[in-house]
Amino acid sequence: MSLDRSTLFIGGEWVAPATDETFTVISPHTEEPIATVPAGSTADIDRAVAAAREAFDHGPWPRMTPQERIDVVARFSDLYAAKLGEAADLITAEMGSPAQFSQLAQSPAAWMALDAMINVARAYEWEATRPGSLGNPVVVRREPVGVVAAIPPWNVPHFTVMSKLAPALLAGCTIVVKPAPETPLSGAVLADLLTEAGVPAGVVSIIPGGREVGAHLVAHPGVDKVAFTGSTAAGRQIAAVCGQQLKRVSLELGGKSAAIVLDDADLDRTIEGLKFASLLNSGQACIAQTRILVSRARHDDFVEAFADAMGKMVVGDPADLATEIGPMVSQRQQQRVESYIGIGQSEGAKMVLGGEGRPTGLDRGWYVKPTLFAGVDNSMRIAQEEIFGPVLAVVPYDDPAEAVRIANDSPYGLGGSVWTSDPEQGLEVARQIRAGTVGVNQYMMDFAAPFGGFKDSGIGREFGPEGLDEYVEAKSMFPDVSGG
């Protein structure tokens, strides 16, 4: 079956693109083309924003009751649930995510996030009366923010779309989604499901495009809010534009999360948990626990055991369910990760496992050897900068207080974890970590809870009622209680 496409989803319809520019989707495993799709242009963005503006200003969607919108989004959720396997396979094919991770998280997590936001919307206070300070009641109403520009990354394309699409739709916004050029196929899958669910024309457009198209969308005067997931460097540029225009913005950016392994942690259990938490999606995850902090007393034993476990992980064809680490999404990403392996060596870190060059037996594909550095000083670039690949740094510490200091000694503050046999102690250490999400003996996300980062890891939150707050404006109304 051909994956090629010739049209773009603009204003609720599949239409011819404004130009003949295309993206060729390359398999990260075979390095062969798998599809050709239209590349969105600034003219396509203008059409999409115009449709979204019309649908918001004059269409039915923002004027429906919250329950009516919930019913439509719930139908979309049911339709998406029937496509989980197909969506997972497509994401594996286009960006190389290992099939076991795709089937566990790429599409199922997107669906769970969608359902969680539906439940949040059901309990949300869309309009409430509260006592005023002057003795009269005040009515506080939450209304949709307007036209939303959503820019997700390529690493978890459906999940990061849902984190923006779900709250935007539930709030009554209209939305233009710009998928990354590396993952245009998975974005298109959602379009027909939205139409079938009953989302009115104009409410959603999905236009894959490059940086120029994204910049045009962000700066478009018809857009009221930007929701972006991606690099901190791009986030800074987007925030500057939105600040100049006084445009609402939420940013979920990079991370360099620290896992603190306390001395009482069970070694086998910790290593098993950290294998996933540190290397999920082949390390191409902003929440990956890529700095592993271990006391000097246990450093060597931990490194030996972790290197043994990491070295046994299966690297190869992402379509094979046995594969634990697949290729990088692109040759550019492969080269970037390998450059950091070279940086780690030049900085004097001890390379215990991996290194530059292809993994054994893989003569093609954008693969990187899973690499473990030990004895890393936290000031090294491999401990401070986001690598976005299967490269981990073990950083020694003297006592738990120093571990917390090292964990917080980072420009980022997205995630973290604490590993211990004493859950209460773990929670106490977690309270001291300056990060948006911190797990004890695990790293996970709960879609009823807010997700986002401190410091350079972003602005705003996704999921939970806090995530819905990002897509509404609060209006205060003062009813006449005089009786006249």
Strand 371-374, strand 350-353: pairing: antiparallel
Strands (E), 219-328: 225-229, 248-252, 258-261, 291-295
Contact 151, 228 (CB under 8 A): yes
Q: Fill in the DSSP letter of residue 146.
A: -
Among 173, 242, 286, 462, the one annotated catalytic: 286
Q: Which of 56, 254, 259 is nearest to 149 (CA)?
A: 56
Among 94, 182, 252, 338, the one annotated catalytic: 252
Amino acid at 427: L
Instruction: Supply the angle between the helices 400-408 and 423-431 in degrees, to the nearest 10.
Output: 40
Tokens 């051909």 belong to 2
Strand 415-419, strand 437-440: pairing: parallel
Question: Is 242 among the residues known to form the active site?
Answer: no
Backbone angles phi and psi of 259, in degrees to 5: -105, 115
Helices and strands of the chain, counted as H and E runs: 16, 22
- Give the span between the Cα atoms of 216 and 40, in whole angstroms: 11
- Give the span between the Cα atoms of 421 and 39, in whole angstroms: 52
Instruction: Supply the angle between the helices 84-95 and 157-171 in degrees, to the nearest 10.
Output: 130
395: buried, middle or exposed (CB in 10 Å: 19+, 13-18, 0-12)?
buried
CA dihedral 266, 269, 270, 276 (to 10 degrees): 180
Q: Fill in the DSSP letter of residue 451.
A: B
Question: What does the block give as tokens for 159?
Answer: 């999940």
Alpha helices in 312-398 (DSSP H): 331-347, 381-384
Active site residues: 252, 286
